Structure 1
């Protein structure tokens, strides 16, 4: 039987929608292995069939629509569970996915994440199988202590800001589409999250499954070091 991995997408107001919506659609494509129409094609990519499936919860401080970083001009997202409820219930997730949220105060460098969100990440991290961030979502992981002693990357536009506002025991990698250090995966800005999601699918399955999903979504392949934005933003 396939193994089911639970994902918690860690949201709060000012979240960047593209940091998690396209990646979650790509990851959810793995579940098409059970679909009468698409299942045979996906399972044919692996001799024993695709070995994983995903469930996804969209976490937030309250059970009310989460407003994205550009305000109500963008869609809002309905959470499926609050951080406090997950903490109180002792629910453990296999994967944490952290999109960008509010940036730190530009003067004081003080973070603006809800404390429940950071507490949830701290409590989940020791037993989670994978800890993942997109764009400035790495700041959540950094504040929760997850990136200490690790190599990581983030959005190149905010690379220096995130580095200054985070604990100083992190090795920030300026030229990287995404970085893997143990069970911690961090990607560069926004669209890099889809590339990391496809690399993660390949990690859990094989290159053929990832290639098939990539071909349906029409996502061009990128390597981990395909990163022109580091130079554009003067980091290398």
Structure 2
């Protein structure tokens, strides 16, 4: 029987929608293995007699049970959380995967972060037993502040690469030239669209290259490697 992996998308006001909406659609597409029409194509990617090994469930976790407003304000769509950080912690719910999109930037003078404290508390509580810890863009700052990236290699949006590095713990090896970085169970990607590349690589990690290739063909995302990063040079980092 396929195993269902639970995903917690860690959001709050100021989030970047594109850091998690397209990636979650990509991850959720694994569940199409159960679709009467599309499932056959995915199952054909597996060795004979084997099913696609995982399915995905997703929760959108936020400080309050009210619509989350993205960084561009109400000109953008809002996101309805499925639970709050307090509810998840009180229930002792453990997620398999934490997905951290960009949230509010730190104060550029003092370096003080602008994440809700219960968001960071939730990440700290979940991290020891989570199977995968993942971020897109400056979402890496959440992981850094929660202590998840200490002693790890990681990357982030190259526009804000120096800002995030300056205002994060100093025991992190920030990688300037990388579309995404994998260090153990920690996956971090560069800015925004890099999250889709990382999501497809993660699908391949969970299933196989053939399944990921089918999904890539549906969403029409060009294939990229971890080293396909023109933006490090664009922003003068290399």
After TM superposition, is the score higher than 0.5?
A: yes
Q: Secondary structure at the match of 1:180?
A: strand
Q: Kindly state the Cα deviation for residue 129 of structure 1 after the two structures are TM-superposed.
A: 0.1
Q: Kindly state the Cα deviation for residue 100 of structure 1 after the two structures are TM-superposed.
A: 0.2
Q: Kindly state the Cα deviation for residue 49 of structure 1 after the two structures are TM-superposed.
A: 1.7
Alignment of 1:155-166 (within 5 A): 155-166=157-168
Alignment of 1:11-160 (within 5 A): 11-47=11-47, 48-160=50-162
Which residue of the partner structure matches residue 212 of structure 1? 214
Compute the TM-score of the two structures, normalised by the length of structure 1. 1.00
User: Which of 168, 179, 182 is the aligned partner of 2:181?
Assistant: 179
Q: Secondary structure at the match of 2:69?
A: coil
> 1 CA distance for matches of 2:43 and 2:23?
21
Which residue of the partner structure matches residue 204 of structure 2? 202
Q: Secondary structure at the match of 2:29?
A: helix
> 1 CA distance for matches of 2:127 and 2:186?
10
Q: Secondary structure at the match of 2:79?
A: coil
Compute the TM-score of the two structures, normalised by the length of structure 2. 0.99
Consecutive unaligned residues in structure 1, runs of 5 or more = none
> 2 CA distance for matches of 1:59 and 1:155?
23
Consecutive unaligned residues in structure 2, runs of 5 or more = none
Q: Kindly state the Cα deviation for residue 60 of structure 1 after the two structures are TM-superposed.
A: 0.2
Q: Kindly state the Cα deviation for residue 108 of structure 1 after the two structures are TM-superposed.
A: 0.3
Q: Deviation digits for residues 102-151 of structure 1, max 9, x if unmatched?
A: 00001001000000000000000000000000000000000000000000
Q: Kindly state the Cα deviation for residue 28 of structure 1 after the two structures are TM-superposed.
A: 0.5
> 2 CA distance for matches of 1:49 and 1:40?
10
> 2 CA distance for matches of 1:49 and 1:219?
25
> 2 CA distance for matches of 1:81 and 1:166?
28
> 1 CA distance for matches of 2:88 and 2:142?
18
> 1 CA distance for matches of 2:127 and 2:43?
31
